[in-house]
Amino acid sequence: MNRPLLVLVGGFLGAGKTTLIIAAARLLQSRGVCVGVIANDQGGELVDSRWLAELGLDVEEVTGGCFCCRFSDFYHSAERLLVRRPEVIFAEPVGSCADLSATILQPVKSFYKDQLQPAPLTVLVDPLRAQEFLGAGADPNMAYLFHKQLAEADQVWFTKADLCGSPPGLPGVTTRSMSARTGRGIAEWLNQVLSGNEAAGTRLLDINYEEYAQAEAALGWLNWQADLRLRQPLTPAAVAGPLLEELDGRLTEMSAAIAHLKIFARSDTGFIKASLCRNSEKPLVEGDLAASPARRYELILNLRARACPELLQSLVNEVTRHLPGRLIVNHQESFRPAPPKPEHRFTSVG
Ligand SMILES: Nc1nc2c(ncn2[C@@H]2O[C@H](COP(=O)(O)OP(=O)(O)O)[C@@H](O)[C@H]2O)c(=O)[nH]1
Ligand SMILES: [Mg+2]
């Protein structure tokens, strides 16, 4: 049987899932391994899938709901990748999701054991976020999601080791550290999850779906895509950077805690992604930083914050209205994640 390994990379919003998948995919590709990726979001127009595709990765996406609620779509995405005969498929679930073992890994083991070989469920943790969620003043809804994600992991890895030398202890959890920025731990993680020696989906969560739904719904979600025709040419970084800063400033003023704010900007001269994982953080800008100025842009904005979705929408409308050019908004949706209703939910480990 020539089944590709299915590597589910979970973890809270901004933990570093997409960044790890890119680093790991590049490492595998340099060894001649064929890789596919499945991205996922509650809405449409994803920064992650555009970014992955622009970087040359073979990417499919499941939009409009998490993998567990759209398990059939998830499998159809995997099927489309299977045509290209990948040896490894990375799948990145929505960062607010938990119960992946019962709703994705066990169903894959049961229904698609001849097509896919699940790898251990990895949950990534941003050390700064962990400190926040372990602290006394943690938002109870966010802390709930965080602890549930940890409780079902086969492997827990701290990310961003280049930023935080000594991550906090997580009670009862064995952790290791990696950095997609420096490459530390990436090969070691791949060895662990691709070895085939470690079982996948060994734990099942004890989770109350009403509490889970309430915790997810504490977040406001906004996805937006537009075409921009500037009056004066600007570089991609000069378009996205100030937009991100303005949004951050306004969200901070209205006490809306950012979980993840991402902007993708593409012109004929190049593309960039800029993102923030918390308020007032220095934005991280990646991509063609040396691209020459251009007039025509495609912009995608994905914002997840602890605020009412209508407020997020009016804020984005107001801030983007001041962009120096003509804006045509093609897609905008803002909502709170709907209560999760998994297509399948196993109550025992297969
Ligand atoms: N310094 C540093 N930043 C990282 C690392 N991994 C991810 N990031 C940054 O953290 C932010 C969120 O990463 P992303 O992969 O989008 O998180 P996701 O929401 O879990 O997919 C981005 O700005 C990344 O560039 C890392 O190892 N080191
Ligand atoms: Mg991501």
Do 282 and 146 reside in the same domain of the chain?
Answer: no
What's the rounded Cα separation, in Å, for the pair 138 and 142? Answer: 8
Our CA angle for 236, 125, 259, nearest 5°, is 50
Do 181 and 95 reside in the same domain of the chain?
Answer: yes
> Which residue segment(s) compose the domain that 294 sits in?
220-335
Q: Which ligand sits closest to the CA of 9?
A: 1
Could you identify the atom of ligand 1 that is nearest to the CA of residue 19?
A: 15
Could you identify the atom of ligand 1 that is nearest to the CA of residue 13?
A: 19
Do 146 and 273 reside in the same domain of the chain?
Answer: no
Query: Probe ligand 1: pick from 12, 13, 19, 284, max atoms within 8 Å of CB?
Result: 19
Q: Which ligand sits closest to the CA of 277?
A: 1
What element of type H or E holds 333? Answer: strand 325-335
Do 249 and 231 reside in the same domain of the chain?
Answer: yes
Give the domain-ending residue among 190, 216, 242: 216
Q: Along the 350 residues of the chain, how does pLDDT read in single tens digits?
A: 589 999 999 999 999 999 999 999 999 999 999 999 999 999 999 999 999 999 999 999 999 999 999 999 999 999 999 999 999 999 999 999 999 999 999 999 999 999 999 999 999 999 999 999 999 999 999 999 999 999 999 999 999 999 988 999 998 999 999 999 999 999 999 999 999 888 999 999 999 999 999 999 999 999 999 999 999 999 999 999 999 999 999 999 999 999 999 999 999 999 999 999 999 999 999 999 999 999 999 999 999 999 999 999 999 999 999 999 999 999 999 999 999 999 999 999 98
What's the rounded Cα separation, in Å, for the pair 313 and 335? Answer: 9
Query: Residue 199: CB within 6 Å of ligand 1?
Result: no
344 in a structural domain: no
Query: Residue 247: CB within 6 Å of ligand 1?
Result: no
343 in a structural domain: no
- Residue 165: its pLDDT value, please? 81
347 in a structural domain: no
Contacts 24+ apart (CB under 8 A), 47-53: 47/262, 47/263, 47/264, 47/273, 47/275, 47/300, 47/301, 47/302, 48/18, 48/92, 48/262, 48/302, 50/264, 50/266, 50/300, 51/18, 51/264, 51/273, 52/18, 52/21, 52/22
The model's pTM: 0.98
- Residue 197: its pLDDT value, please? 87
- Residue 1: its pLDDT value, please? 53
Do 255 and 170 reside in the same domain of the chain?
Answer: no
341 in a structural domain: no
Task: Count up the domains in the chain and report the number.
Answer: 2
Do 189 and 239 reside in the same domain of the chain?
Answer: no
Instruction: Indicate the pairing of strand 5-11 with strand 220-234.
Output: unpaired
Query: Residue 93: CB within 6 Å of ligand 1?
Result: no
Do 43 and 153 reside in the same domain of the chain?
Answer: yes
Do 212 and 234 reside in the same domain of the chain?
Answer: no
The CATH number given to whatever domain includes residue 39 is 3.40.50.300
Query: Residue 177: CB within 6 Å of ligand 1?
Result: no
350 in a structural domain: no
Do 169 and 310 reside in the same domain of the chain?
Answer: no
Do 236 and 267 reside in the same domain of the chain?
Answer: yes
Do 212 and 229 reside in the same domain of the chain?
Answer: no
Could you identify the atom of ligand 1 that is nearest to the CA of residue 92?
A: 21
Do 79 and 127 reside in the same domain of the chain?
Answer: yes
